[in-house]
Amino acid sequence: MTIIRTRTAAITPLLGRHIRPQPTSCLYRASTRCISQKTYTLNNGVKLPAIGFGTFQDKEQQESAVYNALNAGFRHIDTAKVYDTEEFIGRAIRKAGVPRTDLFLTTKLWCNDFHPDDVEPALDEALAKLGTEHIDLFLTHYPCTFKRGTERFPKGEDGIMQMGETTYVDTWKAMEKLVHKGKAKAIGVSNFSQGEVQTLLDQGSITPAVHQMELHPYLQQKSFVEWQKSKGIHMMQFSPLANQNNFYRDIYWATGKANAGRLIDEPILKEIGEKYGKSPAQVALAWGLANGRSVIPKSVVDWQITQNLESDFPLDAEDLEKIGTLDKQLRFNDPSSAYNWKLYSDLEGAWST
What CATH number is attached to the domain comprising 297?
3.20.20.100
Find, among 307, 284, 311, 140, the residue nearest to 220 by Cα.
Answer: 284
Residue 21 has pLDDT above 70, yes or no: no
Give residues with Cβ within 8 angstroms of 227, minimum separation 6. 194
Give residues with Cβ within 8 angstroms of 170, minimum separation 6. 114, 115, 116
* Known catalytic residue at 83: yes
Confidence (pTM): 0.90
Interval 299-330: pLDDT, tens: 999 999 999 999 999 999 999 999 999 999 99
Residue 203 has pLDDT above 90, yes or no: yes
Q: Residues forming the annotated binding site? A: 141
Q: Which pLDDT value is given to residue 50? A: 97
Q: List the catalytic residue out of 40, 83, 248, 344.
A: 83
Interval 122-152: pLDDT, tens: 999 999 999 999 999 999 999 999 999 999 9
Domain that holds residue 139: 2-339
- Model confidence at 255, pLDDT cuts 50, 70, 90, reads confident
Q: Which pLDDT value is given to residue 12? A: 33
| Chain Cα centroid distance, residue 165 | 28
In a domain, 244, yes or no: yes
Q: Residues forming the annotated binding site for substrate? A: 141
Task: Print the SS3 string covering the chain.
Answer: CEEEECCCCCCCCCCCCCCEECCCCCEEEECCEEECCCEEECCCCCEEECECEECCCCHHHHHHHHHHHHHHCCCEEECCHHHCCHHHHHHHHHHHCCCHHHCEEEEEECHHHCCHHHHHHHHHHHHHHHCCCCECEEEECCCCCECCCCCCCCECCCCCECECCCCHHHHHHHHHHHHHHCCECCEEEECCCHHHHHHHHHHCCCCCCEEEEECECCECCHHHHHHHHHCCCEEEEECCCHHHCCHHHHCCCCCCHHHCCCHHHCHHHHHHHHHHCCCHHHHHHHHHHHCCCEECCECCCHHHHHHHHCCCCCCCHHHHHHHHCCCCCCCCCCCHHHHCCCCCCCCCCCCCC
Kindly give the interhelix angle for 86-96 and 116-130, rounded to the nearest 10 degrees: 40
Distance CA 204, CA 189 (A): 13
Interval 271-293: pLDDT, tens: 999 999 999 999 999 999 999 99
Q: Which residue has the higher pLDDT, 21 or 250?
A: 250
Q: Is 75 left (phi over 0), alpha (psi -120 to 50) or beta?
A: alpha
Residue 28 has pLDDT above 90, yes or no: no
Residue 19 has pLDDT above 60, yes or no: no
Q: Letter for the amino acid at 286?
A: A
In a domain, 353, yes or no: no
Number of domains in the chain: 1
In a domain, 345, yes or no: no
In a domain, 200, yes or no: yes
Q: Which pLDDT value is given to residue 352? A: 53
Taking residues 217-237, report their average pLDDT: 98
Q: What angle do CA 138, 228, 263 make, to 5 degrees?
A: 85
In a domain, 352, yes or no: no
Q: Which pLDDT value is given to residue 35? A: 53
In a domain, 346, yes or no: no
Distance CA 41, CA 287 (A): 19
Residue 36 has pLDDT above 90, yes or no: no
Q: Which pLDDT value is given to residue 74? A: 96
What percent of the chain is modeled with pLDDT above 90?
83
* CB atoms inside a 10 Å sphere around CB 163: 16
Interval 145-183: pLDDT, tens: 999 999 999 999 999 999 999 999 999 999 999 999 999
